[in-house]
A and B are shown apart, each in its own frame.
Chain A
Amino acid sequence: MAASMQHVFVGAATGVFKGVNLAQKKATNFQNVASLSREEEICAMCWGNQQESQVCIGLKNGLVKTFDAEQGEFTDCANCAGGDGRFTGLAKYQGSLVTCVESGLLRVWKDEGEKVDMDVGKDVCRMRQNHALPHQVATGGKENELKLWDIQEPEKPIFKAKNVRNDFLDLRVPVWVTDLQFLSEQKLVTCTGHRQVRVYDPATPKRRPVLNVELGEYALTALSVTPDCQSVIVGDSQGSMVMVDLRMGKVQKAFKGFAGAIRSLQCHPTLPMVASCGLDRFLRIHDINTKEMLHKVYLKSKLNCLLFSSADFTQEETETTKKQKRKLESSNITDEDEDELWGNMSVVQDGKKTDKTKRKAKTKKLKKPK
């Protein structure tokens, strides 16, 4: 079934679970579309295991399905209902599922029906797990400050962020954490619905954000850290995706091509690429360094979340180009024919670049004083 490796897994608002192979530029639906209902909307996704061969999908009705990428079908379906609202985060800790819903109920579903509950506050928007320290989990939401929890100590958070000082009118700054990520081992980055990007350092006694950047005009909805951990890519509700340098606290680059809100972003763990999906029904892969759009796939439904696999799919592409090269070599082209070919082609001249804004400073000759 899933003979070809899927590079990106995407979950849609209609409930369809899709896999996209970027080398072959193909998207496959892993379910029969007609059998789905509105209640099976995919809210959250996470990798089921370290090898990234399994995907856990959280649905709106409280079910969590496990999908096996090698077999190409759903292997498990667990009922993880509890609390009100949709899933805001899924994680795997020591083989058991950790789920968080909007009402603030964070639950660890251990084997044999055992559950460990934690109350993380009301109106949670996001919950994420620390990949370096899997027992740490961070949550944040609307009027719900960033909190860092340890699963083994469910009573109190390890770190609870403090709100920024009152603004210049002496008014309280509202809090709305829409997305958060772990930056290296200890630090955290959050983006807010009030257009701020903040970096927190739980190691320091300072509970206020280390860095607070105000961006753009529209609420930020998604966030992802670049592989070098020096900058962060944020997407907003009108479809502008921007890279923010965390050292300078400024916008570095803007990525173009979006028409709708960006719901989910993820940078590739090793390659300089970022995948984004959103309400305009497209999955886009951009190159972080050159800002160009490498792939754009139309996926017919509004997309909610995505997972970018760590596999290096650019290697697969070079294999196909290698095959093409071999084909060329095998065809008989002698040196003389090649020279003729090259001779027949017209010479390309570099066009002069005229930069109207800048003018070349005329080099003035220094005059020797008489």
Chain B
Amino acid sequence: MFYCVYSTFISTFYDLSKILGPPTSWFILSFPKMATPKKKKMPVQEEIQDVDNDSAMAVPSSAIPPPNISSIKNKMRRTHEFIKLKRQRRKKKELQKKRKRETEALGDEAPPKKVPKTIENMRVFDETMVDPQDEEVLHDEAHDEMASYFSRDTRPKVLITSSDRPRSTTTRFLKELGQCIPNSEIYYRRGLDIKKVITQALAKEFTDIIVINEDRRKPNGLLLCHLPDGPTAHFKISNVKLHDEIKRAPKSTEHYPEVILNNFNTRLGHTVGRMFAALFPHDPQFSGRQAVTFHNQRDFIFFRHHRYLFKNNKRVGLNELGPRFTLKLRSLQKGTFDSKFGEYEWVHKRHEMDTSRRKFFL
């Protein structure tokens, strides 16, 4: 975890992967859900345990979900298939037991346990990965546009707006974002140009602007502009779930949440992480027990808003509040919003950058 800003003691008990499932299966959640009658455990689970050879990158046969045996109408054939399945499972279990016996028998001489190759493990080496002691990067960050927030010279004041004539989903999303981010104000767009919004916001001393773009009745884009001259990040939003759609979600309160930023490791990731951190006030109110998480995995940023409760020293209970959405960075522009003449620090070029499945930028 790179940047647990205010939650140093939470991080030891707060293992995100336990709440949200192992990384690969969690990533799969972002694909459109197939029409299955029950919620099954993702079949990719099995892939992780056994992959330990060079064919890791070839699609293993177990990645294709096996056909549903209970849908075979013929009883004889159904029982045959079930027997076959049981035989396979038994074989697998015996293999595992045998391996375990062998390692125990060898004791110290046992070969080290094989670590499965995942896409995160096999990530292409990135030169821009930030070394925490790097003097030049620290100096650069100490003098960048967000430095005034981190040196506590300015307090965040966020303006949230949307594209013109937003639909109900987007207006609800705006309200929930407004509740989630303290010290924020929601304004309706009413056909104003973003450059004019920026000049008005500067006059009213806002520090950040969030513009939610809507397409086909759903929010699909987020423009985060840091003021007065800060970078403008444009994200693609997907998988939005509002408070009403999350089961048993309690209401959130006005307490300042703790901010958790995970996995923003490269230089670009650092800049984006700092932009997110600059949205929230410095001092979280721990009595509110609320936490906002921006988790980066494979260039997708997952936003979650939870209330936690420590049951004892080892167990934490989590209740998901507020909106849940996924972001993907499309471009980072230097200076305030100027898509025509502004200079871009980073632009996502699909055909050049998405050539390798193991290369990530954040």
Q: Which residues of A contact B (CB under 8 A)?
A: 14, 16, 29, 33-34, 36-38, 193, 218-219, 221, 237-239, 256-257, 259-261, 263, 279-281, 298, 300-302
Q: Are A281 and B347 in contact, with the CB atoms below 8 A?
A: no
How many angstroms from the CA of A132 to the CA of B294 in the assembled complex?
A: 57
Q: Can you list 17 A-B contacts with CB-CB less than 8 angstroms, sorted by A residue number?
A: A14-B140, A29-B136, A37-B143, A193-B341, A237-B342, A237-B344, A239-B344, A239-B347, A239-B349, A261-B334, A261-B343, A279-B344, A281-B128, A300-B136, A300-B137, A300-B267, A301-B136
Query: B341: which A residues are within 8 A, CB to CB?
Result: 193, 219, 237
Q: Are B345 and A279 in contact, with the CB atoms below 8 A?
A: yes
Query: B127: which A residues are within 8 A, CB to CB?
Result: 298
Instruction: Known contacts A237-B341, A281-B128, A300-B267; decide if A260 and B135 are in contact (CB<8 Å).
Output: no
Within 8 Å by CB of B140, from A221, A238, A300, lies A300
The interface on chain B, measured as residues whose beta carbon lies within 8 A of the other chain's beta carbons, has a size of 23
Interface of A is mostly: loop
Instruction: Known contacts A14-B139, A34-B139; decide if A221 and B343 are in contact (CB<8 Å).
Output: yes
Instruction: Known contacts A218-B340, A281-B267; decide if A302 and B143 are in contact (CB<8 Å).
Output: no
Q: Are A238 and B136 in contact, with the CB atoms below 8 A?
A: no
Q: Which residues of B contact A (CB under 8 A)?
A: 127-128, 134-137, 139-140, 143, 267, 334, 340-347, 349, 352-353, 361
Within 8 Å by CB of B334, from A279, A300, A301, lies A279
Interface of B is mostly: mixed
How many angstroms from the CA of A193 to the CA of B140 in the assembled complex?
A: 28
CB proximity of B230 to chain A, nearest CB, Å: 14
How many angstroms from the CA of A319 to the CA of B54 in the assembled complex?
A: 39
Within 8 Å by CB of B143, from A14, A29, A193, A261, lies A14
Q: Are A260 and B344 in contact, with the CB atoms below 8 A?
A: yes
Query: B347: which A residues are within 8 A, CB to CB?
Result: 238-239, 259-260
How many angstroms from the CA of A296 to the CA of B127 in the assembled complex?
A: 10
Q: Are B352 and A261 in contact, with the CB atoms below 8 A?
A: no
Instruction: Known contacts A14-B140, A279-B334, A281-B128; decide if A261 and B135 are in contact (CB<8 Å).
Output: no
Query: A239: which B residues are within 8 A, CB to CB?
Result: 344, 347, 349
Who on chain B is nearest to A297 by CB? B127
Q: Are A259 and B346 in contact, with the CB atoms below 8 A?
A: yes
Within 8 Å by CB of A33, from B139, B344, B346, lies B139
Known contacts A14-B140, A29-B136, A33-B139; 20 additional CB pairs below 8 A are A14-B139, A33-B135, A34-B139, A218-B340, A237-B341, A237-B343, A238-B344, A239-B349, A259-B349, A260-B343, A260-B344, A260-B347, A279-B345, A281-B267, A298-B127, A298-B128, A300-B134, A300-B140, A300-B267, A301-B136
